[in-house]
Structure 1
Amino acid sequence: MNLKKIADQVIVITGASSGIGLTTARKAAEQGAKLVLVSRDQDALERLAEELRQQGCDALAVAADVGKQEDIQRVGDRAIERFGRIDTWINNAGVSIFGRLEDVPMEDSQRMFQTNFWGVVNGSLEAVRHLKQRGGALINVGSEVSDRAIPLQGMYSASKHAVKGFTDSLRMELEHDKLPISVTLIKPTAIDTMFTVHARNYMEKEPRLPPPVYAPEIVANAILYAAQHPRRDVFVGGPAKMSAMGAYYTPRLLDRVNQRATYKNQQSEQFSSPNRRDALYEPDPSAELCERDATIDKVVESCPYTAVSIRSKPILMSALIGGGALLAAWQYSRRRPLLR
């Protein structure tokens, strides 16, 4: 199928007021796209839309809760009313919860699923309703934990597994019906965004992302590439590919590596405040319109693996890099007795 250049597209972006969504919106605006910006914070969206309009971008701000079907239908209707069409729909909104599964209240887990999973379902089905007429791209932002769960973010991992299952099923149904819609699942590794700031925390210490942490621009570039070139899956960051390969080939080894390293690597030295704010139920204005988390010191600003993999049909490069990373993990695991 033929997808338009970014300059000729109308793009819907959920979760547009921070992190990956914000970076993607700014990059798409630089390339001349018309944008429909979606998040729960109308004030932040209006400020972003005004910023992009001053750069010559035609931007529409629509406040919506992606977990509510009626809100997402309103987003689609507003986009058609303003621009007459939708060319790419990006489901990016998401939030996490840190803590042992036994410690997380069920209502919090259900709320997170409402955003992470049902938000993708609502957005995808609304996108299909419009894209099936003229064609276009549907891009869902999953995670490296779409393929491999980790401790202390159990329900987040489950929600991203669910996103992967839904996306894969939808893709097959659309292809069966020969509809001109490209469906891509983006699977980033740890990314320098407001992820931990937005997340609800049930750990004693403040959450942090396990290194290496990559720049959000790498994800935005992958998303915008997929908006122009059909891709099934895109792993952002070599560790994401390594994790998926480990889940398939050496799941028990990866269990033990995670038991040893992931608990510690997801907790900082700082104790969590009882008055800590998050974005699980409502937006946190103090963290809006921020692409990056200023507390992260070392960020990987480029990823040759991702740059090569999205532009290459052969999987040799990803297999070599992933295999080398798995070998390194195996050698690390043999330095000490594994956890039993």
Structure 2
Amino acid sequence: MAAQALDPLSKLVTVFGGSGFLGRHVVRALAKRGYRIRVAVRRPDLAGHLQPLGRVGQIHAVQANLRFKNSVEAAVAGSDAVVNLVGIMQQTGRQRFDAVQAFGARVVAQAAAGIGAPLVHVSALGADAASASLYARTKAAGEEAVLAAVPDAVVFRPSVLFGPEDAFFNRFAVLARMLPVIPLAGADTRFQPVFVGDVAEAIARAVDGTVAGGRIYELGGPHVRTLREIIDYILKITGRRRLVLPLPFGIARLQASVLETLDKLTLGLMPDELVLTRDQVSLLASDNVVSEAAIAEGRTLQGLGIQPEAIEAIAPGYLWRFRERGQFQQPHLA
């Protein structure tokens, strides 16, 4: 992919999943470079928030569903590059891990190959064909399908993303506001949270053609922390004093089973922050950090010339709203 740099002023990039958390940052990064952007989503009527990120007419949303090959092919038609950001953390209705992250990834890759367009595919750190987690297995299957269809595709595996409106730091901040006790599975599991803006910049550079293709890049932040350390930091920033109760994985799976059942009985009306699945518990059994091999081979943000932002530089700027007295309350940093 690095051999064919795109001229931003005349090129069209199709971004699948561009209306999501990572997607809006990717769209912004591409728009700043001058690309025309076609955002392929299931509900184009809900993608209006992307329009202010570019000039008039620069960003256009179209309907596409990864479960339907024809809609994917129509979305990539005429594109000079394709980016696939689509992924789910929980199965709901027809949105199943295999359909979205394995079959869907293959369909997008084959569509890109069909028109000879470079492809950037976003997977996840922890993708593993041998994992106990179906999420991780389907992510690995998606990577395999992508590289089979487009051997020079750029594949990114980010760790958990943080930034305004993220689903990780904000989730635990909400739980700290709602609950006196935070039950925690995988308290000792290690994570390497990465700023969403840094991941978006890496994706934009891949679209530019400056990132070598046919490789899997592992994207993590500058620091590795256990889940318990991350929760403790969130509590300090938000000024909340809560008991954190580490759970053995057996009990955590039982808890997840109960919560999954309650979510189904309430027809999905439970707050997202309270929903925990057994598959997510399985994910928490494995560390989520950049491998030594990726570091040695330069398949990291630093290897791409991007200095990753630390949690401390970004998270306080959006977690303050969870303090009892808002931005004027001083966090407990001692």
TM bucket, shorter chain? 0.5 to 0.7
Scaled by the length of structure 1, the TM-score of the pair is 0.56
Q: Which amino acid aligns with 2:122?
A: V
> 123, 141, 144: which is aligned to 1:165?
144
Equivalent residue number for residue 76 of structure 2: 76
| Greater helix fraction, Structure 1 or Structure 2 | 1
- After TM superposition, give the deviation of residue 216 of structure 1 in Å: 0.9
User: Equivalents in 1 of 2:69, 2:248: separation in Å?
Assistant: 35
Equivalent residue number for residue 4 of structure 1: 6
Q: Which aligned segments of 4 or more residues in structure 1 are displaced greater than 3 angstroms?
A: 5-8, 107-110, 147-151, 193-198, 204-212, 238-241, 260-264, 269-274, 303-307
User: Equivalents in 1 of 2:44, 2:143: separation in Å?
Assistant: 29
- Residue 219 (1) aligns with residue 199 (2): yes
Check conservation: 1:10, 1:34, Cα contact below 8 A: yes
> 218, 224, 227: which is aligned to 1:235?
218
Gaps of 5+ in 1: 78-84, 98-103, 173-181, 199-203, 242-259, 279-302, 313-340
Q: Which amino acid aligns with 1:137?
A: P
Check conservation: 2:159, 2:191, Cα contact below 8 A: no
Following superposition of structure 1 onto structure 2, how do residues 6-45 of structure 1 map, counting pairs within 5 Å? 6-45=8-47
Check conservation: 2:129, 2:141, Cα contact below 8 A: no
Evaluate the alpha carbon distance shift between residue 8 and residue 307 of structure 1 in structure 2; reply closer, same or farther with a 3 A threshold. Answer: farther
- After TM superposition, give the deviation of residue 225 of structure 1 in Å: 1.3
SS of the residue corresponding to residue 30 of structure 2 reads helix
User: Equivalents in 1 of 2:136, 2:157: separation in Å?
Assistant: 12
Q: Which amino acid aligns with 2:85?
A: N
- What is the Cα-based RMSD across aligned positions, in Å? 4.2
User: Equivalents in 2 of 1:155, 1:169: separation in Å?
Assistant: 21
Evaluate the alpha carbon distance shift between residue 183 and residue 126 of structure 1 in structure 2; reply closer, same or farther with a 3 A threshold. Answer: same
Check conservation: 1:40, 1:65, Cα contact below 8 A: yes
SS of the residue corresponding to residue 117 of structure 1 reads helix
Equivalent residue number for residue 187 of structure 1: 157
Scaled by the length of structure 2, the TM-score of the pair is 0.57
- After TM superposition, give the deviation of residue 163 of structure 1 in Å: 1.3
Post-superposition Cα deviations, 1:192-215, rounded to whole Å, max 9, x if no partner, equal 2655699xxxxx979999644221
Evaluate the alpha carbon distance shift between residue 311 and residue 60 of structure 1 in structure 2; reply closer, same or farther with a 3 A threshold. Answer: same
- After TM superposition, give the deviation of residue 69 of structure 1 in Å: 0.8
Q: Which amino acid aligns with 2:153?
A: V
Q: Which amino acid aligns with 2:64?
A: A
User: Equivalents in 2 of 1:65, 1:237: separation in Å?
Assistant: 29
Evaluate the alpha carbon distance shift between residue 72 and residue 148 of structure 1 in structure 2; reply closer, same or farther with a 3 A threshold. Answer: closer
- After TM superposition, give the deviation of residue 51 of structure 1 in Å: 2.0
Equivalent residue number for residue 61 of structure 1: 61
- After TM superposition, give the deviation of residue 130 of structure 1 in Å: 1.5
User: Equivalents in 2 of 1:67, 1:59: separation in Å?
Assistant: 24
- Residue 155 (1) aligns with residue 129 (2): no
Equivalent pairs counted in the alignment come to 231
Post-superposition Cα deviations, 1:121-180, rounded to whole Å, max 9, x if no partner, equal 11111111122xxxx4211111112247655xx1100111101221232344xxxxxxxx
SS of the residue corresponding to residue 194 of structure 2 reads coil
- Structure with the larger RCO, 1 or 2 (CA within 8 Å, 6+ apart): 1
Evaluate the alpha carbon distance shift between residue 240 and residue 148 of structure 1 in structure 2; reply closer, same or farther with a 3 A threshold. Answer: farther
SS of the residue corresponding to residue 146 of structure 1 reads coil
Equivalent residue number for residue 94 of structure 1: 87
Equivalent residue number for residue 53 of structure 2: 52
Post-superposition Cα deviations, 1:103-126, rounded to whole Å, max 9, x if no partner, equal x8xx96982211111111111111
- After TM superposition, give the deviation of residue 46 of structure 1 in Å: 3.4
